[in-house]
């Protein structure tokens, strides 16, 4: 069996970096590359007013901050959780600027020893914001130190070892901890409970992404028409980071090949070149869906079989492709294996198989695997290899 394309680099890069989860590279990756982080900082909103979308989190946060300002006290500790690229770091920095205080930035993996954290905490000025990105990856001893710091603005620094060790209490300035996490489920209960405000970030609506794109186009000096921004927004998977990245790619195309103006036609041509389709699927997503629909008659088929069919690792298919395919209502995970929804057949332009009760896939609501559909042409592949 020949794979339709080479194994993506995502898995091997993840292996090389020792990351647990495989990551996607390319145009629709939700993660930012190192160079991209530099570009991104230029596009970050700097105030709540500039921050687009997330109406619930933004409104609640505005109240928390305003209340604290009126009382003249630092606000409650804030936890921002949600998928990559939705604006957690941007909001954390905005909290600092709205409060008019400085933000000290670190990340869970960077805090290896509790001493590192104690030093950082003792250097905070009153009212400072301490931003810990990827807070779910903080080392356990540091996390325990953080409990006391968050609650009592105090840490115990242990001096010496063994029976002679003494804990010296150290006062720290009242501060606000802002934690960000893409994996809220990995946070321990005690840490989670110490946040007074938890903001759950949601994917953006296309109209909100259009606003993000308009703002970014202004900052980048790109002429972007309304239908051009609609075209890009529709392919951005509900994620501002992806919208901004696609805008930059389309701008390159427009400037190099044409007059620099980004219209619908220009966006379509450029994104076709980058293999990003109208729903924001890339080559790997389409290959997975195509294999499911064409080779396995729509499923059900186990993820391991599906992965072999596209020449990928099962966990790459499962963790990199499937979440969006499920969210887009194109693929369902059922107890018997993966199943293409009716929307998937439509999207790929294949006629629906006759006589089968397909999952409709409308809005991606599958109600926890309510029975696998009977799909004609189901393959002879084993159903339980997932």
Ligand X SMILES: Nc1ncnc2c1ncn2[C@@H]1O[C@H](COP(=O)(O)OP(=O)(O)OP(=O)(O)O)[C@@H](O)[C@H]1O
31 interacts with, out of ligand X, Mg ion, none, CB within 5 to 8 A per kind:
ligand X
Catalytic one among 24, 88, 286, 333? Answer: 88
**Least distance in Å: CB of 174 to ligand X?**
25
Is 43 among the residues that bind ligand X (CB under 6 A)? yes
The CB-of-52 to ligand X minimum distance in angstroms stands at 4
Binding mask 227-266 for ligand X (x = CB under 6 A): -------------xx--x----------------------
- Crossing angle (nearest 10°) for helices 34-43 and 206-220: 90
The DSSP bridge pattern shows strands 166-171 and 154-159 to be antiparallel
Residues 71-100 that bind ligand X (CB under 6 A): 84-90
| CA distance to 10, 127, 136, per residue, from 17 (Å) | 11, 36, 18
Q: Indicate the residue among 88 and 235 with the shorter CB distance to Mg ion.
A: 88
* Contacted by 241, from Mg ion, ligand X, none: CB < 5 to 8 Å by type: ligand X
CB of 87 to ligand X, least distance (A): 3
The answer to whether 52 contacts ligand X (rule: CB under 6 A) is yes
Distinct helix (H) and strand (E) counts, the chain: 16, 9
Residue 256 CB, nearest distance to ligand X (Å)?
24
Pick between residue 32 and residue 348 the one whose CB is nearest to ligand X: 32
Three-state secondary-structure class, residue 107: strand
The verdict on whether 88 is a catalytic residue reads yes
Answer yes or no: 133 catalytic: yes
Of these, 44, 137, 248, 327, which contacts ligand X (CB under 6 A)? 44
The half-sphere exposure of 268 on its side-chain side, counting CA atoms within 13 A, is 4
- Told to judge if 156 belongs to the known catalytic residues of this protein, a careful annotator would answer no
CB of 139 to ligand X, least distance (A): 20
Q: Which of 24, 194, 241, 333 is catalytic?
A: 241
Give dist(CA 283, CA 277) in Å, integer: 9
Beta bridge partner(s), residue 159 = 166
* Burial group, residue 97, by CB count within 10 angstroms (0-12, 13-18, 19+): middle
Q: Choose among ligand X, Mg ion, none what residue 345 binds, the Cβ cut-off being 5 to 8 Å by kind.
A: none
Distance CA 117, CA 115 (A): 5
Q: Contacts by 8-15 with C-beta closer than 8 Å and gap 24+?
A: 8/284, 8/312, 8/316, 8/320, 10/316, 10/320, 11/312, 11/313, 11/315, 11/316
Q: Nearest to Mg ion by Cβ — which residue?
A: 89
List the single partner that 143 binds among ligand X, Mg ion, none, CB under 5 to 8 Å by kind: none
Distances (CA, A) of 219 to 62, 164, 213, 271, 306: 25, 59, 10, 21, 43
Nearer to ligand X, 176 or 305 (CB): 176
Closer residue to Mg ion in complex, CB, 89/316:
89
Residue 364 and residue 341: Cα distance in Å, rounded? 9
- Report CA torsion sign: 307, 311, 315, 320: negative
**At its nearest, how many Å lie between ligand X and the CB of residue 207?**
13
Task: Tell the residue number behind the tokens 């409650």, with chain if given.
Answer: 76
Q: Tell me, yes or no, if 89 is annotated catalytic.
A: yes
If contact means CB under 5 to 8 A according to the sort of partner, which of ligand X, Mg ion, none does residue 236 touch?
none
Query: Three-state DSSP class for 178?
Result: strand
Task: Output 131 or 324, the one with its CB closest to Mg ion.
Answer: 131
Binding site for Mg ion (CB under 5 A): 88-89
Q: For residue 315, how far is the Cα from the chain centroid? A: 17
Binding site for ligand X (CB under 6 A): 31-32, 40, 43-45, 51-53, 84-90, 180, 182, 212, 240-241, 244
* Residues assigned a catalytic role: 88-89, 133, 182, 241
């Amino acid at each position: 069996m020949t794979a339709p394309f080479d194994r993506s680099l995502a898995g091997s890069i993840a292996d090389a970096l020792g990351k647990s989860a495989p990551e996607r590279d390319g145009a629709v990756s939700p993660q930012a590359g190192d160079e991209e982080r530099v570009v991104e900082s230029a596009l970050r909103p700097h105030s709540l007013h500039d921050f687009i979308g997330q109406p619930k989190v933004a409104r609640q946060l505005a109240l928390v901050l305003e209340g604290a300002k009126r009382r003249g006290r630092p606000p409650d500790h804030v936890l921002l959780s949600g998928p990559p690229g939705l604006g957690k770091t941007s909001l954390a920095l905005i909290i600092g600027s709205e409060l008019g205080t400085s933000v000290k930035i670190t990340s869970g993996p960077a805090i290896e020893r509790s001493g590192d954290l104690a030093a950082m905490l003792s250097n905070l000025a009153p009212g400072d914001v301490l931003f810990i990105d990827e807070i779910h990856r903080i080392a356990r001893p540091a996390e325990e130190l953080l409990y006391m710091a968050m609650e009592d603005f105090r840490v115990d620094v242990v001096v010496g070892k063994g029976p002679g060790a003494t804990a010296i209490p150290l006062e720290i300035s009242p501060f606000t901890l802002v934690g960000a996490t893409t994996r809220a489920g990995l946070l321990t209960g005690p840490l989670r409970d110490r946040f007074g405000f938890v903001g759950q970030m949601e994917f953006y609506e296309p109209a909100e992404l259009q606003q993000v794109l308009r703002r970014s186009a202004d900052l980048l000096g790109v002429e972007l028409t309304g239908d051009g921004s609609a075209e890009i927004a529709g392919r951005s998977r509900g994620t501002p980071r992806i919208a901004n990245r696609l805008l930059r790619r389309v701008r390159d195309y427009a400037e190099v090949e044409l007059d620099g103006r980004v219209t619908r036609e220009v966006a379509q041509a450029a994104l076709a070149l980058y293999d990003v389709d109208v729903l924001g699927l890339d080559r790997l997503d389409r290959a997975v869906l195509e294999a499911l629909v064409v080779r396995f008659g729509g499923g059900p088929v186990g993820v391991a079989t599906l992965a072999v069919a596209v020449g990928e690792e099962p966990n790459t298919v499962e963790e990199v492709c499937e979440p969006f395919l499920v969210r887009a209502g194109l693929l369902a995970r059922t107890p018997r294996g993966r199943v293409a929804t009716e929307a998937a057949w439509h999207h790929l332009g294949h006629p629906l198989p006759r006589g089968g009760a397909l999952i409709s896939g409308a809005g991606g609501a599958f109600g926890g695997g309510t029975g696998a559909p009977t799909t004609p042409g189901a393959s002879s592949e084993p159903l339980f290899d997932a």
